[in-house]
A and B are shown apart, each in its own frame.
Chain A
């Protein structure tokens, strides 16, 4: 027993010896560099990076333990927004992955970012709600931005967005509405909505989708029940054979287009669409590149939002204390039209409905119900659409 103990002990000792050697060299600059002022021109930044590579990464993004920077979704969208702004304006930026998913660890990540010179920290997930709630008071000189969440004390009841924090959520129901509208306008009559888990954001997408389809059917003067929507949540956010089978069975039963709304569930739906000659609608970011079956994507303009927030911050008017819900009014949500594969639905059609929603013509925008407004999708007050909720 003892020899094994010794084995590990010795290895630990060796490591600590290494540490003692390197420690002295490294500790000094770390402290110093926090104080180093940001330099705005490109050259200075390059110098900084080659010399120390730390201390001036004033734009920081934090990602959760399980996430990755190239997730083709929230993290990536946010990161690209940061990159677009920072590269154009010569700012250094960096992302920090947390060691695990807990508030304490997120706070550690913030601390690390701040020690490395972060002035503004962006957390692109509701997971950071409580950590940012605490951090906004702990670091009053640092600015925070949370996307898809509101800072709260961890009890889902006490919400406070301090003056150094900007909180953004998106009006998913509006994005969903546009998708449903465009699908019916393009000529589809048998629609499907396959959500991930029934979390509020996904539900809002789904409800909007149903209502948008109904709105288009009314416009086209279709008869009641002429548009059918199969509606379900998979209960996960993954690409699984199960999800693919479900989508495939819908296509085989005549569904023409499925709005795939749940992270990697989309991959399952796309695969099923390819095998069954069906169509699909993507979500969150432009997914037209993932499959030729994707006719459009119902997106949140993360890149735009992040870039705008950074511009505001550097212009000296950071929207601190604001709880924003970004919808069509601020171009926060929309459909992908550049890479769209519609047959009848044109850019003009899109512009028209977008403008109508922006101006709330006939109360169209206010009329869209959200997640809390109906028990389930088939309880929504629609006339032209018949919704079939599958288990």
Chain B
């Protein structure tokens, strides 16, 4: 009876749903490996599972490093979900944040070392927030579907960033942004000692801080209470006298700011990381949606989901040794996200199974 009670608990079912999603994703990737080249399938699959550990401490450092931007966009999507809005505009907010950070990083060399990086990060946050302002206001005050306007803002953001880069901080020879000044590059903050050889920097500290702030904000503050109320039941929040429109705009902008901060963190990493001037939407923005879904829209969940996805991506990188293309990981992640969405279904199935068993007892 105790065990059944355990399984009937909502929390356990959520966990099981996520676990099933991850396992299904991995199984399907294994099947694809088998079909494309069975001789190396086991080794290749092992390498995917081994993920960041393929590269030892350096690999783990790189897993965390790669996860930084997608955790941020994941947090952005998760926060917006809390207010009942789907922020699909993270790609645009991300790239505008990235541009602003790079602009400050390149041009504002008058800032002293410690301040420059932080100023660039703040710039990225503000730019992302500003970029989210338009769909937020349209949604809150004019009932324009945020999904539609945010998608459009993605393209506007992409072209605007390209235009601004080519006119301000352009490296024509490489068709990309100029490298930021050394003072604007994220400090290593001892991460190179912890994870020798990896690219990891203080960005992860910023990420963890943001996760903590969000967790506190959502669960402990009046602001968090209000945005949750708006997200879960707009009518009831109006009834309670919450100015839902204002909260919606604020939280959407905050969400955009997080995506912008993600862009800033990504492109202030140094190591020749520059914004390429291409007409392609920032992929990290969309990965954020997967991260948020998999992380069940909680800040800590997004942190772990971002790490998981990054872990798999690094695994996929190493799988190339076995002549598998890296796209295998995209498929794996896509399947995980799909099954994550099916978690509800899985929950129902488990419940039914338990009931049938229960009936026989």
What is the CA–CA distance of A326 and B12 in the complex, to the nearest angstrom? 65
Residues in A neighbouring B273, C-beta threshold 8 A:
100-104
Chain A residue total in the interface (Cβ 8 A): 61
Contact B166 A53 (CB under 8 A): no
Question: Which secondary structure dominates where chain A touches chain B?
Answer: helix
Residues of A within 8 A of B12 (CB): 3
- Interface residue ranges of A359-379 to B (CB < 8 Å): none
**Which residue from B218, B279, B294, B321 sits with its C-beta under 8 Å from A240?**
B279
Task: A14 to B55: give the CA distance in the assembly, Å.
Answer: 20
B interface bracket (residues with beta carbon within 8 Å of A): 35 or more
Q: Inside 8 A of B62's CB, which chain A residues have their CB?
A: 99, 108
Chain B residues, CB < 8 A from A30: 321
With both chains docked as a complex, state the minimum distance between the C-beta of A233 and any C-beta of chain B, in angstroms. Answer: 11
Instruction: Confirm or deny: A254 has a beta carbon within 8 angstroms of a beta carbon on chain B.
Output: no
From A2, A19, A154, B53 is in contact (CB under 8 Å) with: A19
**A11 contacts which chain B residues (CB < 8 A)?**
15, 18-19, 21-22, 304, 308
Question: Per a CB cutoff under 8 Å, which of B40, B49, B173, B304 touches A18?
Answer: B49
User: Is the beta-carbon distance between B295 and A4 smaller than 8 angstroms?
Assistant: yes
Contact check: which of A26, A101, A198 meets B47 at CB < 8 Å?
Answer: A26
Given contacts A22-B49, A94-B323, contact A104 B174 (CB under 8 A): no
Is B81 at the interface (CB under 8 A from chain A)? no
Interface string of B109-134 (1 = CB under 8 A from A): 00000000000000000000000000
- Asked, given contacts A4-B301, A7-B17, A12-B304, whether A103 binds B219 with beta carbons under 8 Å apart, the answer is no
Partner of B11, one of A6, A49, A130, A238: A6
Q: Is A44 an interface residue (CB 8 A)?
A: no
CA distance A20 to B11 in the complex (A): 27
Q: A112 on the interface (CB 8 Å rule)?
A: yes
Chain A residue nearest to B178 in the complex (CB) = A156
Given A126-B174, A198-B172, A199-B172, A94 and B49 contact (CB-CB distance below 8 Å) = no
A235 interface residue per 8 A CB criterion = yes
Partner of B50, one of A4, A23, A109: A23
Flag if A14 contacts B326 (CB, 8 Å): no
Q: How far is the CA of A1 from the CA of B51 in the complex (A)?
A: 28
Q: Would you call B320 and A15 a contact (CB within 8 A)?
A: no
Is B237 close to A, CB under 8 A? no
The interface residues of chain B lying within 8 Å CB-to-CB of A100 are 66, 273
Q: Name the one of A26, A94, A112, A154 contacting B46, with C-beta atoms under 8 angstroms.
A: A26
Q: Which of B39, B277, B313 contacts A197 (CB 8 A)?
A: B277
- Interface residue A85 (Cβ < 8 Å from any Cβ of B): no
State A199–B22 Cα separation when bound (angstroms).
44
Given the complex of chains A and B, what is the CA–CA distance between A57 and B320 in angstroms?
11
Do residues A2 and B11 form an inter-chain contact, with CB atoms below 8 A?
Answer: yes
A interface footprint on B165-180 (CB within 8 Å = 1, 0 otherwise)? 0100001111100010
Contact present for B272 and A99 (CB under 8 Å)? no
Q: Is the CB of B15 within 8 A of A26?
A: no
- Confirm or deny: B10 has a beta carbon within 8 angstroms of a beta carbon on chain A: yes
Answer whether residue A127 sits at the interface, using C-beta atoms and an 8 A cutoff. yes
CB distance from A51 to the nearest CB of B (A): 8
Q: Which B residues are CB-close (under 8 A) to A102?
A: 199, 269, 271-273
Cβ-defined contact, B320 with A96, below 8 A: yes
**What are 22 A-B pairs with beta-carbon distances under 8 A?**
A2-B11, A5-B298, A5-B301, A7-B19, A8-B294, A8-B296, A11-B304, A11-B308, A15-B308, A18-B26, A19-B50, A19-B53, A26-B43, A30-B321, A53-B39, A66-B276, A97-B325, A99-B314, A99-B317, A102-B199, A103-B271, A108-B317
CB within 8 Å of A: which residues of B? 10-12, 14-15, 17-19, 21-23, 26, 37, 39-40, 43, 45-47, 49-51, 53, 55, 62, 66, 162, 166, 171-175, 179, 199, 215, 218-219, 269, 271-274, 276-280, 294-298, 300-301, 304-305, 307-308, 311, 313-314, 317-318, 320-323, 325-326
